[in-house]
Structure 1
Amino acid sequence: MSNKINTYKILFIATIESHILNFHIPFIQYFQNKGCEVHIATKLENRQDELKKLGVVYHGVDFERSPYSFSNIKALKQLINIMKRNKYSLVHVHTPVGAFLGRLAAKITNTKPVLYTAHGFHFYKGAPLKNWIIYYTMEKIAAHWTDGLITMNEEDFNIARKFNLRRKDAVFYVHGVGIDINKYCVNDEEKRKKLREELGFSEDDILILTVAEINTNKNHKQIIDAIKILKNYTDIYYLIVGTGEKEEKLKNYVLLNNLENRIIFLGYRRDISEILNAVDIFALTSLREGLPRAIMEAMAAGKPIIATNVRGNRDLVRDEVNGCLVPVNNIEETAKAVAKLAENKMLRTKMGEEGKRIIQDYAIERVLKEMDEIYSLYL
């Protein structure tokens, strides 16, 4: 794509503000560096100062994450008005509800082209039937209004290829949203020791970390239950970074099982790279994933991974190579994986090095090149 396309207006759409700010800043800046005016349409929450600093034009849309909410009719009308007021050269939609309504509004206003990035279809092998009925149907319908569909894992790519898109052969595979590998490759023994001391741990303690919203899908309980049955391993601790709707319930569960000294809730943190440097193992036992950035960050930091054997996780974690894949809700297998890694520092180091090698394909520089090739087809 030429360096200057400054007559273009680009619109990014996502149901929630945090999705844009957590995952799409490099792609917004990509267009800004080419002289484009970038617009954001999302449900505004409490991070508008960050949007202002980005230099984007942002539009508040009353999205609801549930596809059943009648409020989304209002959101659709708002999107139609935004598209009527602005002649966009490209619309890039994200998240299930935002993507569906964004494509419908583009269809109604004859706004083209429209790209859709699927960060993990809500229908997948083993998903509840209602997910297939609702989300699969939504995607099948919206495919007719889609000029390009971008996927991030093998399972989604194979499903997407069966959709009838507006353009033929317009399903793409990219290596996620990209990460700044150098940011997480800290490897500073002095900082590691200092942070462990601040958190109340010695160098001999084994620290497992999960960075994720505390909700049903992220399934923190699987690691908690594994630690519960490892009664002889008193030096294993589980650190949870994140907040969420199930936080109080999970804290109560920990108290009921007398694990409050082994399970540490750290809340919302901005020093993820430093915490990764200080821990020994990273865990993500989700029920479903698209392509989890948290695992990518842990791999960049050289940590062995314990993850459930689900779509997205298994795209990143190669069993017995850079971590251990365990079945969803299989506590015994999870406990075995924890014990295996806790007992063997050499294995942890070896798996961590393999992870650092594998994650090179997911570097932000590579993903930007992949996206540049896709954007060039449409602008």
Structure 2
Amino acid sequence: MTDKLLMIVNDPAFFISHRLAIAEAAKEMGYETHIATMDGEAVSSITDKGFIHHLLPLSRSGSNPFSELFSLFSVWRLLWKVKPKILHLVTIKPVIYGGIAARFAPVKGVVAAVSGLGFVFVSQGIKATLLRKVVNFFYKLALGKKNLRVIFQNPDDCAVLTGFSIVDRNKAEMIRGSGVDLNLYSFMPENMSQTPVVCFAARLLRDKGVIEFVEAVKILQLRGVAARFQIVGDVDLGNPATITPAEIATWRDEGIIELLGYRKDIGELFTNANIVTLPSYREGLPKVLVEAAACGRAVVTTDVPGCRDAIDPNVTGLLVPVRDAMALADSLEELIQNAEVRQRMGIAGRALAERAFNIKKIVQQHLDIYSKLERASNCE
């Protein structure tokens, strides 16, 4: 009988952008590969690639307890239907619901990918503190299966969950991000004849640092710094930290930033840019910075978990304090004014991508974990 792999991801578009290469490699290895997601336009892309797709009633921000219980039940029912040899869970709700359901279903081995501790862990206040306690409790329940591995993208997130005894240290694995196809994101020298272009690319969430970026642009405008500034990305109305359409309309009216919206041609945009920035509050290991490195672009990002792990500080980019628009403006100005430093950092960034972020290496690390879980289940 063919072994089955079931990968559960909230968003089908996220699967395509961040986990497709792993699923394709598993399929080539002989796994009967199943993908379960919420509904979305990218579902057709999943089925077109020959995967068996299952719809789940998941939402990224749902707070109705009855809906969430139904989501948990639906995951449990799917596990009994598929009976996977390996269950691969990606993003917070699949990790929690899938991890809990797997303890009461015929699943041999579980991979839980913690791709950043996210909104719950960067928010402040009493409500956020209480929510973290609840999430920690469910994480501990979900990650308690014996034959399980938890993939972390940076050591800080690993330290948080192992420090609270949520994850046993011998179950923790470290993989630096989702990788990048070095053929699709190729190195091209900067266009030195143009006004320097600074590109911010991310979902338009407050915890991505978009407000600080806009403030930094205004500071640089007042200083008379000659550069073009771009925001690539769209609002995410399913996330409580989203930027509002009214704020975007204000920025458009101010006319100092080019608002490009959601784009699929990130590699081309970075090739046409000179600097990439992501002043996020916390990440797993941001794919956008990996893509910037592959394209050979200098980076300015924040000295926080995930972001600092995506660069070699002062070699491939600069680190700034989180939530500090002035420091962000200073570092952006430093690179805008110094093409030689930018180019040196870009060359070093490409070398970093080849050394640490090659998609082939990242995929193989995942397949090795699958094999490790299979061997453990055969010994039971």
Instruction: Using structure 1 for the length normalisation, give the TM-score.
Output: 0.88
In the alignment, which residue of structure 2 is the partner of 1:274? 268
Question: What amino acid maps onto 2:249 in structure 1?
Answer: N
Change (3 A) 1:207 1:78: same
Deviations 1:259-282 (A, max 9, x none): x1x200111222211111111100
Q: CA deviation at 1:68?
A: 3.2
Q: CA deviation at 1:26?
A: 0.8
Does residue 76 in structure 1 map to residue 72 in structure 2? yes
- Measured in 2, the distance between the counterparts of 1:34 and 1:316 equals 30
Change (3 A) 1:267 1:126: closer
Question: What amino acid maps onto 1:39 in structure 2?
Answer: H
Residue 208 of structure 1: SS of its match in structure 2? strand
**Contact map agreement 1:93 1:102 (CA 8 A) in 2:** yes
Question: What amino acid maps onto 1:31 in structure 2?
Answer: A
Q: CA deviation at 1:108?
A: 1.8
Instruction: Using structure 2 for the length normalisation, give the TM-score.
Output: 0.88
Residue 169 of structure 1: SS of its match in structure 2? helix
- Measured in 1, the distance between the counterparts of 2:169 and 2:252 equals 55
In the alignment, which residue of structure 2 is the partner of 1:154? 155
Question: Matches of residues 96-107 of structure 1 in structure 2 within 5 Å?
Answer: 96-107=92-103
**Contact map agreement 1:186 1:273 (CA 8 A) in 2:** no
**Contact map agreement 2:116 2:153 (CA 8 A) in 1:** yes
**Contact map agreement 1:140 1:163 (CA 8 A) in 2:** no
- Measured in 2, the distance between the counterparts of 1:125 and 1:136 equals 14
**Contact map agreement 1:224 1:238 (CA 8 A) in 2:** no
- Measured in 2, the distance between the counterparts of 1:8 and 1:338 equals 50
In the alignment, which residue of structure 2 is the partner of 1:44? 39
**Contact map agreement 1:149 1:160 (CA 8 A) in 2:** no
Does residue 138 in structure 1 map to residue 138 in structure 2? yes
Count of equivalent residues:
360
**Contact map agreement 1:148 1:167 (CA 8 A) in 2:** no
- Measured in 1, the distance between the counterparts of 2:45 and 2:171 equals 33
Q: CA deviation at 1:166?
A: 8.9
Q: CA deviation at 1:255?
A: 4.9
- Measured in 2, the distance between the counterparts of 1:354 and 1:219 equals 25
Change (3 A) 1:85 1:211: same
In the alignment, which residue of structure 2 is the partner of 1:197? none
**Contact map agreement 2:139 2:166 (CA 8 A) in 1:** no
Question: What amino acid maps onto 1:362 in structure 2?
Answer: F
In the alignment, which residue of structure 2 is the partner of 1:220? 210
- Measured in 2, the distance between the counterparts of 1:275 and 1:247 equals 24
Q: Which moved more, 1:304-313 or 1:105-114?
A: 105-114
Q: Which moved more, 1:128-137 or 1:355-364?
A: 128-137
Q: CA deviation at 1:116?
A: 0.4
Question: Matches of residues 179-258 of structure 1 in structure 2 within 5 Å?
Answer: 179-187=180-188, 203-230=193-220, 231-245=222-236, 246=243, 248-255=245-252, 258=254
**Contact map agreement 2:187 2:350 (CA 8 A) in 1:** no
- Measured in 2, the distance between the counterparts of 1:301 and 1:170 equals 34
**Contact map agreement 1:88 1:111 (CA 8 A) in 2:** yes
- Measured in 1, the distance between the counterparts of 2:196 and 2:169 equals 51
Does residue 366 in structure 1 map to residue 361 in structure 2? yes
Does residue 315 in structure 1 map to residue 315 in structure 2? no
Does residue 129 in structure 1 map to residue 119 in structure 2? no
- Measured in 2, the distance between the counterparts of 1:237 and 1:15 equals 35
Change (3 A) 1:130 1:233: farther
- Measured in 2, the distance between the counterparts of 1:9 and 1:166 equals 25
- Measured in 1, the distance between the counterparts of 2:268 and 2:79 equals 42
**Contact map agreement 1:149 1:172 (CA 8 A) in 2:** yes
In the alignment, which residue of structure 2 is the partner of 1:289? 283
Deviations 1:33-81 (A, max 9, x none): 0121111121111122101112111111111223633212111222222
Question: What amino acid maps onto 2:134 in structure 1?
Answer: I
- Measured in 1, the distance between the counterparts of 2:169 and 2:185 equals 39
Identity %: 24
Q: CA deviation at 1:297?
A: 0.2
**Contact map agreement 2:187 2:294 (CA 8 A) in 1:** no
Q: CA deviation at 1:20?
A: 1.4
- Measured in 2, the distance between the counterparts of 1:69 and 1:217 equals 24
Q: Which moved more, 1:344-353 or 1:123-132?
A: 123-132
Q: CA deviation at 1:87?
A: 2.1
Question: What amino acid maps onto 2:251 in structure 1?
Answer: V
Unaligned runs of 5+ in 2: 237-242, 375-380
- Measured in 2, the distance between the counterparts of 1:9 and 1:332 equals 52
- Measured in 1, the distance between the counterparts of 2:211 and 2:169 equals 44
Question: What amino acid maps onto 2:44 in structure 1?
Answer: D
- Measured in 1, the distance between the counterparts of 2:182 and 2:223 equals 36
- Measured in 2, the distance between the counterparts of 1:299 and 1:63 equals 33
